Structure 1
Amino acid sequence: MESGVQTRPAFVRVRLSAMMFLEFFVWGGWGVAITGYAATLGFEGRHIGLLGAVPAIGAIVSPLFVGMIADRLFPAQRILCVLHVLGGICLILAGLQASFPGMLVCMMANGLCFMPTIALVNSVAFRHLPDQSKFPRIAVLGSIGWIVAVLCASVFLGGSLKPNFLFQSGVAGILMGIYCLTLPHTPPRGARGDVFGFGALKLLRETNFMVFVACTFLVSLAACGYFFTLQVPMLQQRGYPSPLALTSLNQFAEIIFMFSMPWFVARLGLKRVVAIGMTAWAVRYLCFSRPEFGAALIGLVLHGFCYSFFYVGSYMYFDRRAPVELKTSAQSLVTFLLVGVGMFVGSNAGGLMMEKFRAPAATMAAVHGVDASRDPRPLPPWDDPAAAASAWRYLDLSGTVKSLLYGEEPQAVAPDLGARLDTNRDGRISLSEVAAAPPEGLTFGGHAYSHADLVALVKKLAAAEDGTELPEDAIALTRGAWLRAQSCDWRPIWLWPSFGVMAMLIVFLIAFRQRPSEYVQTPPA
Structure 2
Amino acid sequence: MSNTMPMGTRVKLSAMMFLQFMILPVWFIPMFPYITKMAPEGSVLPLLCGMIMGFGALASPIFGMFADRLMNSEKVLALCNFVAAALLAYAYTVKTPAALFVTLLLVMVFYMPTWSLTATIAMANSTTEAFPQIRVFGTLGWVAAAIFSIVGTKLFGIAQFDSTPYIFAGGAIAAVMGGVLAFFLPPTQPPAKGQKVSLADALGLRALVLLKRPDFLVFSVLILLAMVPFQWYNVYNSTYLKERGYEYLTGVMNLGQVLELVFMLLIPVILKKVGYKWAMVLGLLALVFRYGMLYLGASSGIQVGDYAGILIHGLIFGMLIVGSQMYVDAAAPAELRGQAQGFIGLIMFSLGTFLSNFVFDAVLKKSVVAETGAHVWTTPYLIALAISLALAVLMAVAFKPAVQGKKHG
TM-score normalised by structure 2 residue count: 0.90
Find the partner of 1:31 among 25, 28, 31. 28
1:229 and 1:174 mapped to 2: Cα distance? Answer: 28
Partner of 1:88: 85
State whether residues 71 and 189 of structure 1, in contact with CA within 8 Å, keep that contact through their aligned partners in structure 2: yes
Conserved 8 A contact 2:275-2:404: yes
Kept in 2: contact 1:133–1:265 (CA 8 A):
no
Matches for 1:117-516 after TM superposition, within 5 Å: 117-129=114-126, 131-154=127-150, 156-157=152-153, 158-190=160-192, 191-194=195-198, 195-196=201-202, 197-224=204-231, 226-240=232-246, 242-290=248-296, 291=298, 292-362=302-372, 486-515=373-402
Could you list the per-position Cα deviations for residues 343-379 of structure 1 after superposition, in whole angstroms to 9, with x for gaps in the alignment?
Answer: 23323443332212112322xxxxxxxxxxxxxxxxx
Question: Helix, strand or coil: the match of 1:223?
Answer: helix
Name the TM-score, length of structure 1 as normaliser: 0.71
| Structure 1 position 241, deviation (Å) | 5.7
Deviation at 1:217, TM superposition (A): 0.8
How many angstroms apart in 1 are the aligned matches of 2:360 and 2:79?
35
**Residues 204-251 of structure 1, C-alpha deviation per residue, up to 9 Å, x if partnerless?**
111122111111111112212x11221111112123464443212111
Deviation string for 1:38-57 (max 9, x for gaps)?
A: 12324545211111211111
User: For 1:11, what is the secondary structure of its paired residue?
Assistant: helix
Query: What CA distance in whole angstroms lies between the structure 2 residues aligned with 1:299 and 1:26?
Result: 26
Query: RMSD between aligned alpha carbons?
Result: 2.2
Q: Within 2, Cα distance between the matches of 1:88 and 1:175?
A: 9
Between the two structures, name the one with larger relative contact order (CA 8 Å, sep ≥ 6): 2
Look up the SS of the partner of 1:72 in the other structure. Answer: helix
Once the 2 structures are TM-superposed, how far is the Cα of residue 183 of structure 1 from its aligned partner? 1.0
DSSP-derived class of the 1:192 partner: coil
Q: Between Structure 1 and Structure 2, whose CA radius of gyration is higher?
A: 1
Show CA shifts across 1:129-165 (max 9, x none).
1x12321111111111111112322553444211112
For 2:344 and 2:150, the matched residues in 1 are separated by 32
- Matches of 1:7 and 1:268, distance apart in 2: 23
Give the conservation status (yes or no) of the 8 Å contact 1:94–1:106: yes
Structure 2 counterpart of 1:112: 109
Cα displacement string for residues 90-110 of structure 1 (whole angstroms, at most 9, x for unaligned residues): 011111112111111110110
Alignment-mate amino acid for residue 156 of structure 1: G
Shift of 1:269: 1.4
- Aligned mates of 2:80, 2:315 — CA distance in 1: 31
Report the AA paired with residue 135 of structure 1.
F
In structure 1, distance between residues paired with 2:187 and 2:405: 31
Query: Where does residue 157 of structure 2 map in the other structure?
Result: none
Structure 1 residue 14, shift from structure 2 partner: 0.4
CA separation of 1:54/1:499 partners in 2, compared to 1, >3 Å: closer, same or farther?
same
Q: 1:6: Cα distance to partner?
A: 12
1:258-277, Cα deviation, whole Å (9 max, x unpaired): 12222222222111111111
Give the number of aligned pairs: 393
CA distance in 2, matches of 1:74, 1:514: 30
Distance 2:33 2:82 in 1: 25
CA distance in 2, matches of 1:155, 1:286: 39
In the alignment, the residues of structure 1 paired with residue 327 and residue 357 of structure 2 have an alpha-carbon distance, to the nearest angstrom, of 25
Q: Which amino acid aligns with 1:520?
A: K
- The answer to whether structure 1 residue 520 and structure 2 residue 406 are counterparts is yes
Structure ranking higher in helix proportion: 2
Work out the CA distance in 2 between the residues paired with 1:493 and 1:45.
26
- Equivalent residue number for residue 47 of structure 1: 45
* Mapped partners of 1:7, 1:319: distance in 2: 17
- Which residues of structure 2 form unaligned runs of 5+? 154-159
Q: Is the 8 A contact 2:280 2:395 kept in 1?
A: no
> C-alpha displacement at 1:7, in angstroms?
9.4
Kindly tell me: are residues 522 and 313 of structure 1, through their superposed partners in 2, closer, same or farther at Cα, counting changes over 3 Å? closer
- The aligned counterpart of 1:441 is none
Paired with 1:245 and 1:185, the residues of 2 have a C-alpha distance of: 37
Counterpart contact for 1:229–1:351, Cα < 8 Å: no
Contact 1:354–1:488 under 8 Å retained in 2: yes
* Aligned residue in 2 for 1:14: 11
